[in-house]
Structure 1
Amino acid sequence: MRMLHTMLRVEDLEASLHFYTQLMGMRLLRQSENQEYEYTLAFVGYGEESNSTVLELTYNWGDNTYDKGNAYGHIAIEVDDIYAFCDRLKSNGADVYREPGPVKGGSTVIAFVRDPDGYAIELIQAK
């Protein structure tokens, strides 16, 4: 068994694709539309679906405003240079709401950024 993907409902597919591909460095792996049920799926990731876990961005046509609730935590992504990466994100308008620094009570360097829909992403400095 292996984990295949995590699905996020998005309000603006183009903004989400820009964030995940242009700012986060993922690739658009595939995209499809379902005319009958009025939704678009876009799969993004750092590697192929055959051997990597990816994100499924689901855009429902029409009413697509969501309450994120209080159960969602975050997605975690390892980065090579967290300080430079966060600077690039901020210079492109991304919401880095927790600047890079050691995690409380530890030495791992982390930061947090929000995607266009407000989903939290933890960035973790590669060891």
Structure 2
Amino acid sequence: MRILHTMLRVKNLEKSIQFYTEVMGMEILRQRDNETGRYSLVFLGYGSESDTAVIELTYNWDESDYELGTAFGHIAIGVDDVYKACDKIKAAGGKVTREAGPNKGGASILAFVEDPDGYKIELLELHRFS
């Protein structure tokens, strides 16, 4: 077994696609509209769905707002350098909500970014996992 994808419901599909591709550097892997169900799906990631977990953006045509709730925490993305990643994200118009720096225990460097719908994305340095 392995994780395939994480689905996020989004209010504005184009704005979310722009964020995940231009700000976060992901690629659109596949996309489809379902006329009968009145929704669109876009799968994005840093590699093939056959090799890595990806994000599924779901846009329901007749919904205009969602509550994020209190149970969902964040998506974590590994980067080579959290400080440089934050600089690049801010330069591309992204919102950094917790600047790069050590976590409370000091064991790793991390930061948090927010997508257009308010979902949190944690940036962690990759060397932590090697």
Give the TM-score normalised by structure 2. 0.94
1:45 aligns to what? 45
Aligned length: 127
Q: How much does 1:125 deviate?
A: 1.5
The code of the aligned residue for 1:4 comes to: L
2:124 aligns to what? 124
Q: How much does 1:11 deviate?
A: 0.5
- Give the Cα separation in 2 of the matches to 1:109 and 1:88: 16
Q: How much does 1:107 deviate?
A: 2.4
- Give the Cα separation in 2 of the matches to 1:14 and 1:20: 10
- Give the Cα separation in 1 of the matches to 2:11 and 2:3: 25
Q: How much does 1:25 deviate?
A: 1.0
1:69 aligns to what? 69
- Give the Cα separation in 2 of the matches to 1:125 and 1:49: 22
2:108 aligns to what? 108
Which aligned runs of 4 or more in structure 1 are off by greater than 6 angstroms?
Answer: none
Query: Runs of 5+ in structure 1 lacking a partner?
Result: none
> Does 2:57 match 1:81?
no
SS at match of 1:8: strand
- Give the Cα separation in 2 of the matches to 1:80 and 1:16: 24
Q: Percent identity?
A: 57
Query: Runs of 5+ in structure 2 lacking a partner?
Result: none
1:16 aligns to what? 16
